[in-house]
A = this chain, B = another copy of it.
Amino acid sequence: MAKVLTPRSESYSQWYNDLVLKAGLAENSAVRGSMVIKPYGYAIWEKMQRILDQMFKDTGHENAYFPLFIPKSFLSKEADHVEGFAKECAVVTHYRLKNDPDGKGVIVDPEAKLEEELIVRPTSETIIWSTYKNWIQSYRDLPIKCNQWANVVRWEMRTRLFLRTAEFLWQEGHTAHATREEAIEETETMIKVYSDFAENYMGVPVKIGVKTANERFAGALETYTIEALMQDGKALQSGTSHFLGQNFAKAFDVKFANKEGKEDFVWASSWGVSTRLMGALIMAHSDDNGLVLPPKLAPIQVVIVPIYRSQEDLDKISEAVSDIQSKLRARGIDVKFDTNDQRKPGWKFAQYELQGVPVRLAMGARDLENGTVEVARRDTLTKEVVSIEGIDGYIAELLDTIQENIFAKAAKYREEHTTSVETYDEFKNVLEGKGGFILAHWDGTEETELKVKEETKATIRCIPLDQPEEDGVCMVTGKPSKKRVLFAKAY
């Protein structure tokens, strides 16, 4: 059977694009930079949402919904925010169309011009803090821990499905606290939630760290990040959590009376992950045959394909499958029995490989006689013949094994592609050679950071939290350094 995907070795980026399209995950739309998330892609995103949403609730958060539009003047209120935030935003200037007097189309009604333009939210700190002002008077009103699932728009010029699109889906948490310590604790709690999700559900190992001042979110005092490594040796920032200090409270005049009756500004955090996670999930595990999904996020965890010549065969197989299906469902496993008679088994095998279904069962007349079934694993592409007796327990365990194996494989790849270097030459060699994460000493200046970026396109992904202190010298300037930082080229 002809391969439907460009091999990774030929072009990693073409492979990615082929895979997203051919597996039915997403496609470009008629609107420049905006994607359509197709049902199969959306089903994966829904699984992610459900799990994350429960994690947020378990850590004491509530969902709410804030407006899509932000008055233009709000964006100017927090000085660092407006300075640092990208200005590429969709701007609403009018609120009415009218029939074109010259034709049969519609035109924008010039008389319906807004007094103040509205910005389609690129992120919601400003509109949310203008709202929190009305919710907070005293320490009794704190903390507020809201999350929203929403769409946001950033007018990206060069877009890639899931990784960088003008409109994308995300969640953004925005919390308000009485003390600095509590806000920092929240910021750290949430980056750990993200790390837990990435590693234990997506099967993607991540480095937790803080961003350099230069790479911080506009308006944050500290930005925590999780950085994942893709199969092409490039890093993907997969989630961020920001300690905002009192910046937005000051910008929107949000004060509270503390227990002693003294007024103070409120402390804040914000944190988010987006449909970009889909890109991380796809790129971390998949191969030249298609998607490889961790069982915990697979919309279909097990597919059963019947192999038959006669209706009589199919009837017998269906009877046996029906029993297997109910046993698997009783264990909470998502299973599909594909009886579509327009397609041959070989076509189906390739299709489910392309779509990353973790386990495939094939059952023919001979299997029935023998009381067996053929079990194929997507992650290893191996097959074995297994007894139908106790198949449900076998598969439940196999799904756990696959989940672990996918993580282990990605962790091994990351380990092999994380290099400590001492000199700038070594750094450049590794970067252009095997790529990946590079741990190096840095003198802590923005000047050096930007010089490396300009000369090599690598950036400091983060200062890892688990990096031990050690005496060293900056690979570029030779100035003293106490800790290695994590460099990589990034998406």
Contacts and interface: CB of A to CB of B under 8 A. Distances in A.
B72 A131 contact: no
Contacts of A2: none
Given A30-B127, A72-B106, A104-B76, A64 B38 contact: yes
A11 interface: no
Contacts of A76: 104-106
Interface in A107-123: 108-109, 117-120
A472 interface: no
A151 interface: yes
A376 B73 CA distance: 49
Interface in A271-302: none
Interface stretch (A88-96, A175-183, A378-386, A456-464): A88-96
A98 interface: yes
A22 to B, nearest CB: 14
A116 to B, nearest CB: 10
A148 B89 CA distance: 24
A134 interface: yes
Interface stretch (A39-47, A219-227, A355-363): A39-47
A146 interface: yes
A97 B150 CA distance: 22
Given A30-B131, A46-B63, A96 B104 contact: no
A91 B90 contact: no
A151 B35 CA distance: 16
Number of copies: 2
Interface string A33-59: 011111100110110000000000000
B93 A87 contact: no
B96 A88 contact: yes
B92 A29 contact: no
B68 A97 contact: no
A34 B90 contact: no
Interface-centre pick from A42, A99, A119, A167 (highest chain B CB count, 10 A): A42
Interface in A55-93: 62-76, 79, 82, 87-93
B146 A39 contact: yes
Contacts of A150: 151
Nearest to A26: B65
Contacts of A37: 64-65
Given A63-B43, A76-B104, A342-B140, A89 B95 contact: yes
A31 interface: yes
Contact of A43 (B62, B67, B89, B155): B62
Contact of A90 (B69, B89, B106): B69
B31 A67 contact: yes
A169 interface: yes
Contacts of A120: 68, 92, 120
A402 interface: no
B71 A87 contact: no
A96 B155 contact: yes
Given A38-B64, A105-B76, A29 B96 contact: no
Contact of A27 (B68, B70, B134, B146): B134
A321 B188 CA distance: 33
Given A30-B71, A71-B31, A104 B79 contact: yes
A161 interface: no
Contacts of A43: 62-63
B29 A73 contact: no
25 contacts: A27-B131, A30-B67, A30-B74, A31-B67, A31-B127, A34-B67, A37-B64, A37-B65, A38-B64, A39-B62, A39-B64, A43-B63, A72-B108, A73-B105, A87-B96, A89-B97, A91-B92, A91-B94, A91-B95, A91-B96, A91-B108, A92-B92, A97-B119, A108-B117, A140-B342
Given A87-B109, A88-B96, A151-B151, 18 more contacts: A29-B67, A29-B127, A29-B131, A31-B69, A36-B65, A36-B131, A43-B62, A68-B120, A69-B90, A82-B106, A87-B98, A90-B94, A90-B95, A90-B118, A91-B97, A92-B92, A95-B155, A120-B120
Give 6 closest A-B pairs by Cβ, nearest first: A34-B67, A39-B62, A76-B105, A37-B65, A91-B94, A87-B97
